[in-house]
Amino acid sequence: MPIKLLINVLLTIGLSSALTSSAQDTLWISYGTWVQELDTMDALRFNPNDAFSSNNAVIDRPADAASQLVLVNNDSLDHTLSLSGSADDAASSWIGANLLAGDTTALDFPALSQGSYRYFLNGDRAHVLGAAGLLRVGFPAPGQPGNPGSPSDPATTLLFNWNLCEWSPTRIATVTGPTPEQWTPPYIPKYFTINERSYPATIEDPATEVNLLLGQTGIISVTNHGYMDQVVHFHGFHVTILYDTATPQRQNWSKDTVPVRAGHTVTLELHADQLGTYPVHAHNLIAVTNAGFYPGGMLTLIQVTP
């Protein structure tokens, strides 16, 4: 084993065990491929272990407390990480250390106020390849302090997240080929995903499909990692906007249709006050297709049961 690799392995083991055993204290930046319909696309993702997965990990942190994140950069290029979420200037002004290719780096995260933030690698290549995820701050999971109920307790608040992104195999090829080409309009993405899944895979993921008991409250953190603005339309429910980084003046608005601008996040509260199954989807109909075929894309369900 090369010395540098050995040191990385030892450092990773040491840092991981020095923190807690929770996977979200360490994330691996991994290069791989993912398949949508007939396209096999290169991908760069944040994974909770060293195995490549097409789904970016969610990081949870308490509000108003500094914390650490260990990143293992298994990509062949150096990177820098950024945070965004204008609910708190501490995110946008934060600068992390360089993440050298093949190295393990511990980053000190700033104390942030409650809300939904994006964490992402800088640069077009990382952006197009999808290296971006949700940093959720101040929303304890069921069973943690501040949210004591079990998932079957009607008083429990359940957490969901929708990482929205659109994908163009043509644009991905421009950042993976030996000579990047000029991006020229029109931009016509072929796939539209929630948590890197397109419908019907969206309803197989417990973070994407909103399953609630009657009377329960769900918090839905929505991030838009793509280049296109999206508008999320709810059937059956109005949601309360807790935070909206693009238009903070909409805090506490009750809406059934919520814009999520590219690069922005919204945090929504849904009160399950009626039984049934309801769709929720991107309102732009091209975004509810897979390679042009409807239905697909950014479409999932809300299921409320007794």
Judged by the rule CB under 5 A, the positions of this chain that interact with Cu ion are 233
CB of 60 to Cu ion, least distance (A): 30
CB of 257 to Cu ion, least distance (A): 9
Question: Which residue's CB comes closest to Cu ion?
Answer: 233
Give the burial class of 118: count Cβ atoms within 10 A of its Cβ; 0-12 exposed, 13-18 middle, 19 or more buried. buried
Q: For Cu ion, which is the closer residue by CB, 172 or 302?
A: 302
- CB neighbours of residue 206 within 10 Å: 11
Q: For Cu ion, which is the closer residue by CB, 233 or 250?
A: 233
CB of 139 to Cu ion, least distance (A): 26
Q: For Cu ion, which is the closer residue by CB, 241 or 298?
A: 298
Extract the tokens encoding 103: 């190295």
Extract the tokens encoding 288: 């509810």
CB of 233 to Cu ion, least distance (A): 4
| Distance, CA of 285 to CA of 293 (rounded, Å) | 10
Q: For Cu ion, which is the closer residue by CB, 140 or 295?
A: 295
CB of 306 to Cu ion, least distance (A): 25
Q: For Cu ion, which is the closer residue by CB, 110 or 236?
A: 236
Q: Let me know the angle formed at the C-alpha of 84 by 83 and 89, rounded to the nearest 5 degrees.
A: 100
| Distance, CA of 190 to CA of 179 (rounded, Å) | 22
Give the residue from 43, 95, 107, 21 showing the smallest Cα distance to 71: 107
CB of 305 to Cu ion, least distance (A): 21
- CB neighbours of residue 35 within 10 Å: 10
CB of 281 to Cu ion, least distance (A): 6
Q: For Cu ion, which is the closer residue by CB, 233 or 271?
A: 233
Q: For Cu ion, which is the closer residue by CB, 242 or 282?
A: 282
